[in-house]
Amino acid sequence: MKILESQSATLTNYEVYTHLMEQRARYAKKGMKGRRPGNLETVVKELLEYFQEAPSPLGSKPFPYNENTIRTLFERLRAYDFTKAEFLMILNLRPTKPENLNTVVEEMEGRFPGEEQQLEICAIITEVLGKPDGEAERQAMSENAIEARKEIERQGENMELDE
C-alpha cells in the first residue's frame, strides 16, 4: 500500500450518502451472486443509520438535497465569503437559526454583526435546503434516547440472568 495523496478532496455528507445508496442499488441489481465483504456491510449499514437519524438533514422529509443543491447554495451564499469548511458544515448540518449558525461560523458576531444579517443568511439556507420539522425532530431524538436506554437496560438484565 502506498498513499499517493492523503487528501485529494473533501466530500459532503450528501455525496457520501449518494455514493452508498448507488453502491447498494448496484449490488441489489446483481443479486446475491457476489456477496459483499462483511466489514463493508457493517460500516455501510452503520453509516446510513447515522445519516438518517434525526436531526440530520439527510433523514428529514422531504429530502432536502438534489444534484444542484451544492451549486445553488454556493452561489447564493457567495456574497458572505464563507470559508470552504464553513460552507461544508452548513451543507451537512443545515443551520436555520442564528444560534445554530453560530456554531459553524467562526467569529460570527464580528463578521456578520446584527441579527438582521444573520437571519438573512438563515433565510437563504432555509430557502435552498428547506426547514427542519423541529417538533418531529425533537420527538425522534427523545424517542431514540429512550429506546437506547431501554436497550442498555435489557442488556444489563440479560447479563444478570446469565450470571
Partner 1 sequence: MFILTKIADLVQIHPEDFNKEASQAIEDNINAKYANKVIQKIGLCICLYDLLSASEGLIGHGTGLVNVNVEFRLIVFRPFKNEVMLGRISSATEDGIRVRTQFFDQIFIPFSGLPEGSEFLHPDQLFVWHVPPSDPSEPPQDLFYDNQETVRFRIEEEIWTDQSPLGPKEKEDALGLSTADAGKSSPYVIRGSMADAGLGPCLWWDGDDDGDGGEE
3 binds partner 1 (CB under 8 A): yes
Number of residues forming the site for partner 1 (CB under 8 A): 63
CB of 154 to partner 1, least distance (A): 14
Using CA atoms, how far apart are residues 2 and 163, in angstroms rounded to an integer? Answer: 49
Instruction: Return the SS3 of 63.
Output: coil
> Are the C-beta atoms of residues 65 and 129 closer than 8 Å to each other?
yes
CB of 25 to partner 1, least distance (A): 14
Residues 6+ apart with CB under 8 A from 122: 95, 96, 97, 98, 101
Using CA atoms, how far apart are residues 75 and 80, in angstroms rounded to an integer? Answer: 10
Question: Looking at beta carbons only, is 73 or 101 nearer to partner 1?
Answer: 101
Q: Which of 69, 72, 100, 117 binds partner 1 (CB under 8 A)?
A: 100
How would you class 151 by CB atoms within 10 Å of its CB: exposed for 0-12, middle for 13-18, buried for 19 or more? exposed
**Position 72, amino acid:** T
Subset of 48-87 contacting partner 1 (CB under 8 A): 49-50, 53-56, 85
Would you state the cell numbers that stand for residue 68, as one nine-digit string?
A: 444542484
Subset of 118-157 contacting partner 1 (CB under 8 A): 123, 126, 131-132, 134-135, 137-138, 141-142, 144-146, 148-149, 152
**Position 162, amino acid:** D
Binding site for partner 1 (CB under 8 A): 1-13, 15-16, 19-20, 23, 30, 34, 36-37, 39-40, 42-44, 46-47, 49-50, 53-56, 85, 88-89, 92-93, 97, 99-100, 102-104, 106, 123, 126, 131-132, 134-135, 137-138, 141-142, 144-146, 148-149, 152
